[in-house]
Every structure is written in C-alpha cells, then in structure tokens.
C-alpha cells in the first residue's frame, strides 16, 4: 500500500480549510484517511503561527514508513526542517507557445510588408 501525506479539503464554499492527512494513494482527496497529523488554513496571514499546525513526531514516523508527501505538504515539511525540498527551475515556463510564436511571425511579416509598401 503506497501512502501519501496530503491535504484533505474542508470548510465552506470559498472558505477553504485543509487537514494534513496520511492516506492510501488510491483513496479520494476528501475520502478515507489513516491519520490526521495537522491542519492548514490558507485564509490566515502567511506569518501567522496558526496557519500551519503539524505534529512533527507523527510526520517523522510516517516518512520513515515510506509515506510520500505531496508538493504542498513538502513545502510545509521543509519549513519545519524535516525534509529538504529541492529548488525548482523551469526557464521555459515564460516562453510563448508555438501558436503565439506563429502569430508573432505573421504580425512581423505584415508590419515589414507595410513598411516596404510606403
């Protein structure tokens, strides 16, 4: 059984509140879980201590048993000092797609043709 440390959503519409849970990877996001080890309230300010509450001992226990944290939970564990999260770098992210490049080339050709016609 592969285990995940992930967020389970709760709260009302437009007012999210998440529980940090240990669950089987095959179970649904808000469905059955094995253990609740913390909470995350994204509506609180970033510097608030109540924004993320995490039982570090239980998190260590489940990490030792092979539980894989999701990306968001990995950020919380990195801030807590349990896991070292590698920095990500995607230099192609801001690059336009192929269609946008084609449209830009067409516009450049039209502008060039208009400049030579004058």
The domain limits of the chain are 3-80
Residue pLDDT tens, the chain, 118 long? 789 999 999 999 999 999 999 999 998 888 889 999 999 999 999 999 999 999 999 999 999 999 999 999 999 999 999 999 888 888 888 889 899 999 999 999 999 998 888 7
Residue among 73, 4, 84 at smallest CA distance from 40: 73
Q: What is the DSSP string of 46-71?
A: TT-TTSEEE-HHHHHHHHHTTPEEPH
Please provide the CATH number assigned to the domain covering 3-80. Answer: 3.30.1320.10
The alpha helices in 1-118, defined as continuous H runs, are 56-64, 71-80, 98-117
């Amino acid at each position: 059984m592969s285990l995940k440390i992930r967020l389970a959503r709760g709260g009302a519409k437009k007012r999210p509140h998440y529980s940090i849970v240990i669950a089987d990877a095959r179970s649904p996001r808000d469905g059955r879980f094995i253990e609740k080890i913390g909470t995350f309230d994204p509506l609180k300010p970033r510097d608030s201590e109540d924004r993320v509450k995490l039982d570090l001992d239980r998190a260590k226990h489940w990490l030792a048993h092979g539980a894989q944290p999701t990306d968001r939970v990995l950020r919380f564990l990195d801030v807590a000092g349990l896991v070292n999260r590698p920095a990500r770098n995607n230099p192609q992210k801001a690059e336009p797609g192929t269609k946008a490049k084609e449209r830009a080339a067409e516009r450049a050709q039209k502008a060039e043709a208009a400049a030579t016609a004058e």
